[in-house]
Chains A and B, each alone.
Chain A
Amino acid sequence: MDDSQKAIQQANETLYKQNFELSVKNQTLSILRRLYDVSLTTADVTSTSQKIADAIVQELGFAVVMISLLDKNTKCLRPVAVSDSPEIREAMTKMGKTLDEINIPSDYENNLCITCIRNKSRQMTTNLLDILDPAVTQEVADEVGNIANIKTIIIYPLILGDEPIGVINVGLAKKVDDLSRAEKETLEQLIGLVTLAVDRAKLYQDLKEANIRLKQLDQLKDEFISVTSHELRAPMTAIKSYTWLVLNSKEGVLEPKAREHLDKVYQSTERLIHLVNEMLDVSRIESGRVQLHPESFDMRQLAETVKDEFAAKASEQGTELEVTSFGEVPLVIADREKVHQILENLVSNAIKFTQSGKITIHISQADQFVETAVTDTGEGISEDDQKKLFVKFGRLENSLIARSGTGSGLGLYICKQYVELHHGRIWFVSEAGKGSTFTFNLPLS
């Protein structure tokens, strides 16, 4: 062989090598793309891992790929997927164990997968037992290796951040020295993507499970509130009703002091009942169980009803209460009971903060809505407190000390939710020391 022939042979070899590397690079691109697709389209851990294992075996022609993940609860390394092929199926049958039964305790020293996780470094072996111990015997491991034609196993740790989440076992039908540099590089590149894909699936699955648990808890909470409120209402009804009977009894006259005390018992019970009702409302609102029963009605008429309800209380504290309207006001279409509750709440608040002075319920039409405004000449709301108004439990800080402690801080929150369920809006204008106006609108009939 002369020099020129040698040169040609050398060039040929180089060309062959480059060709091979190019084809491996192509395979790399193709497998990376597949893994990327898997990570985007598959949700749960098992099927993501299965698709990854199958894709690697198909694209790179390895004998087997097995993915195992650390289970924090059981403190075991648990295989979640093994690539599917006739040989592997036969090998699994021979082994007589399902994937679930090859759990390896994370403190088991004799298993290379555990070593891999501990040292966070790649491991290699020619003995299949090194990755299956203690699930099978040497004899079974050898048989399985023969059936699946596994000569070498490379174990890569799957590391996220600094935390190992599992391992991927790659079984080769050849010795590790027979792997080309390009093939080794491909494998190294794969691992990061596999980690991300598996982790993403794990997160998704965890979130889904957490979501289901939360929903169950939420339902339990609702049931608890329903039943408890029923249990609370029963004795409260008894106190309320019997107190009422005594207060309204025609036989005998109550001592003035006794009447005053009983009146307080009655008012307090009413407040308790109101509180329980508000809690029930919030529970219904938050679980989306509020049902509206819309009907057409005259807002002015409803305002008069509410005025009558509060007339005694208002005059008792020297507050004037009136209903006014601007021109002819058309009917609204809304759940009358809920709107009644909204207006009661606004008027009750106005009375609470207007010791003497005037409260006006004003009804008017504005475009496709009927507006109801409750204006008081009370103490108004400071700017700081204004921010907390429609928030659940958003009791004004200074009213904690200043007032008699009535109100749960749920009233305006419930109002806002109910108004918005009707596709209306609620807002307010207020100036400390001068009074407030709360307005809500409802669509026309």
Chain B
Amino acid sequence: MTETPISTAEVLGNFVQALSTGRIEVIDLTQTLTPEFPQIALPPEMGQCWPFRIEEVSRYDERGPGWYWNNFSCGEHTGTHFDAPIHWISGRDLPNNSVDTIPVQHFVAPACVIDCSEQAKLDHDYLMTVADIERFEAIHGRIPKGAWVLMRTDWSQRLDPEAYQNFDETGQHTPGPSAEAARFLVEQRDVLGFGSEAIGTDAGQGYHLRPPYPCHYYMHGAGRYGLQCLSKLDRLPPTGAVLICPPLKIERGSGSPLRVLALVERRA
């Protein structure tokens, strides 16, 4: 089959038409920013990420009779957010490692979704293995270079913040990738980044892995990205979805809250 050159307008025109007919569905993978949504918790003597806080400036009242608006505050890593390589010490000297300098092409990219929801249901500390990845590839094909790998755990369905954080006296218990899996994705599959439904890309007990927080260490050390606090990964197909996830353009920003959208093609 010979390729017929088509104009840019034609590609985008088809795209717009597919959107309008519902052939391409847009799915919001973002948690709503609310003061109740938990933030990552570090030991109290360390610096802390601000939770999301919001305060009215005015609401059609004496502070501003005709308009409603708010001020809000949060950290770069509050709510559904993007991790840039500069976030981790292993990625601190890489070029284009902060949210303002990352090539924007990376903000639109395909995603593979590896379903670990059954395992995470049984084991809150579940670590996704290389075997899980290979099993996925046996069915859905090899993970393409430059794709996001999203670990579906259905953890975002834990609406109660206490269940979402899942702390006990030994710390947090949430699923994530094993050190070997994180390294495999970076070195063997050249992925764009790793995304999780839990509060971090690393498991809750990730500090006790070798190296500590392996997903952060390997991904950011190789200039790859992270997405966390994603939701509704159960609505995505294993392959074929395209993520749109541009973080805020913060100068030397290590990350940013963002809206994550997935484009999914439906059968005609």
Q: Indicate whether A and B interact.
A: no
* Interfacial residues, chain A to chain B (CB-CB below 8 A): none
B interface residue numbers (CB < 8 A to A): none
